[in-house]
Amino acid sequence: MTITIGAIQFDHVDYDAEADVLYLRVGEQRLPAESYGTPEGHDVRYAEDGSVIGVTIVNARWLIERDGELQITIPSRASGETLSPVLAGN
């Protein structure tokens, strides 16, 4: 099963019904370079290159039943490599 949230396509989906936690992953499982707690209380995991490799959504079913949708803030990132030419000046 594949789930798309925003521009990210998650190809591994696991749901723990007892804990009401949805685990989404892109590609093979790997250790994240960093993770970010969203304002909604979820967890977004990033690879070394800044791409999203996973999301853990807490209270997924409860949120859908309550709100009819799921809100999740996934911050966009720009790498130092992308910004360094601009920051160095012309």
Where along the chain do its domains lie?
3-88
Which residues lie closer than 8 Å to 44 by C-beta, 6 or more apart? 35, 36, 38, 52, 54, 55, 72, 74, 75
Single-letter amino acid, residue 22: L
How confident is residue 81, by pLDDT bands cut at 50, 70 and 90? low
Taking the CA atoms of 61, 67, 68 and 74 in sequence, report the sign of the dihedral they define. negative
pLDDT(60) > 90: yes
Q: What is the pTM of this model?
A: 0.80
Read off the amino acid at residue 86. V
